[in-house]
């Protein structure tokens, strides 16, 4: 008999993830506050329901992909109090990017009620969510990690256990802080080359085979026209928004305060992305994060 999943939060990421669960043979009860997202989920083969409590009735798994920590806590604990209604036999997987403290609070409350919980934030954007190639960073017990694997395999290509509840979020924060640092560093180096007469394509080729090689340069070149099929060559549309990067950098700052860690490069990156968001007339927050290149480039 096929396993059932309640999927809460069918936005840019959750929509594709729920569709992949259906493709893998899960029966999916879908809930979102937005009618249009419920309709898209129904078109993808999910069963749309009109409240979260109904979605979790009798399910084997609950997966959530929500905007932020306060909303996750509100859905599971303070507002909808969903944890009270989830079957004790079910496993909850929260895939949203939130503070480790949010995951630990939901995890502790779940444990009190006898419900199993893991945090499982993702790396990879909307395209990876649709293609089922996300990377999952899981925080939870080894037993719950094993239980989560079949669900995560239907939505992702790489699945890691980072440690206990909250550890998935810590891994995600560290990864995205480093991503922000090497993207802004890559933009800075490319602009220095351009300003000193180099063709950014040639400079990119050189650095790709030299010690400056990194993921941003290899997969996501921020200078328009250097690489096909990346947001920089599409007016910085699509991809991973500046606002989402700022959210993740704020989570990194928050974590560093709690652990008394020094993150001078992460702090600089957060300031750079903030400066970029607030520069110019248009809302840069909605652009792909590789548009940080514009902060360095000179007006023509």
Q: Is 127 in the site for ligand NAD (CB under 6 A)?
A: no
Applying CB under 6 A, which part among 7-15, 102-110, 140-148, 152-160 lies near ligand NAD?
7-15
Among 6, 7, 9, 230, binds ligand NAD (CB under 6 A): 9
Q: From 182, 161, 210, 203, select the one nearest 266 (Cα to Cα).
A: 182
Per-residue CA distances from 5 to 28, 70, 81, 215 (Å): 5, 23, 18, 34
In sequence order, which ranges of 44-166 are alpha helices (DSSP H)?
52-55, 69-73, 100-113, 126-131, 142-153
Q: Is 65 in the site for ligand NAD (CB under 6 A)?
A: yes
Per residue in 261-296, is it b (16+ CB within 10 Å) or e — as a string?
eebeebeebbebbeebbeeeeeebbebbbbbbbbbb
Considering the complex, state which of residue 37 and residue 287 has its C-beta at the smaller distance from ligand NAD: 37
CB-based contacts of 265, cutoff 8 Å, min separation 6: 177, 181
Q: Is 34 in the site for ligand NAD (CB under 6 A)?
A: yes
Say whether 284 is catalytic. Answer: no
Q: Is 44 in the site for ligand NAD (CB under 6 A)?
A: no
CB-based contacts of 180, cutoff 8 Å, min separation 6: 245, 248, 249, 266, 269, 270, 273, 289
Considering the complex, state which of residue 62 and residue 217 has its C-beta at the smaller distance from ligand NAD: 62
Q: Is 233 in the site for ligand NAD (CB under 6 A)?
A: no
Q: Is 122 in the site for ligand NAD (CB under 6 A)?
A: yes
Considering the complex, state which of residue 125 and residue 193 has its C-beta at the smaller distance from ligand NAD: 125
**E strands of 26-84, at which residues?**
27-31, 47-48, 61-64
Considering the complex, state which of residue 97 and residue 293 has its C-beta at the smaller distance from ligand NAD: 97
Q: Is 125 in the site for ligand NAD (CB under 6 A)?
A: yes
Q: Is 33 in the site for ligand NAD (CB under 6 A)?
A: yes
Among 96, 191, 214, 216, binds ligand NAD (CB under 6 A): 96
Residue number, nearest CB to ligand NAD: 11
Residues of this chain that interact with ligand NAD (CB under 6 A) are: 8-14, 31-34, 37, 65-67, 71, 75, 96-97, 122, 125-126, 240, 244, 247
Q: Which residues are catalytic?
A: 172
């Amino acid at each position: 008999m096929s396993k059932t999943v309640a999927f809460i939060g069918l936005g840019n990421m959750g929509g594709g993830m729920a569709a992949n669960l259906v493709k893998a043979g899960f029966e999916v009860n879908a809930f979102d506050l937005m009618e249009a997202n419920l309709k898209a989920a129904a078109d993808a083969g999910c069963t749309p329901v009109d409240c979260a409590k109904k979605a979790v009735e009798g399910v084997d798994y609950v997966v959530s992909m929500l905007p932020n920590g306060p909303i996750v806590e509100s859905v599971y604990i303070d507002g909808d109090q969903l944890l009270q209604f989830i079957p004790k036999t079910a496993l909850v997987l929260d895939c949203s990017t939130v503070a480790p403290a949010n995951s630990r609070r939901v995890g502790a409350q779940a444990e009190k009620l006898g419900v199993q919980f893991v945090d499982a934030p993702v790396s990879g954007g909307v395209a990876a969510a649709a293609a089922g190639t996300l990377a999952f960073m899981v925080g939870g017990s080894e037993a719950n990690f094993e239980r989560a694997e079949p669900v995560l395999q239907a939505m992702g290509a790489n699945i890691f256990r980072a440690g206990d509840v909250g550890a998935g979020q810590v891994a995600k924060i560290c990864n995205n802080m480093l991503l922000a640092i090497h993207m802004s560093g890559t933009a800075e180096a490319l602009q220095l080359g351009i300003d000193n007469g180099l063709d950014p394509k040639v400079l990119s080729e050189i650095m790709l085979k030299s010690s400056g090689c990194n993921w941003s340069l290899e997969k996501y070149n921020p200078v328009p026209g250097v690489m096909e099929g990346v947001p920089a060559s599409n007016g910085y549309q699509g991809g991973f928004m500046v606002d989402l990067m700022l959210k993740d950098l704020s989570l990194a700052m928050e974590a560093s305060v709690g652990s008394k860690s020094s993150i001078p490069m992460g702090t600089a990156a957060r300031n750079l992305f903030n400066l970029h968001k607030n520069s110019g007339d248009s809302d840069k927050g909605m652009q792909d994060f590789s548009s940080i290149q514009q902060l360095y480039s000179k007006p023509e």
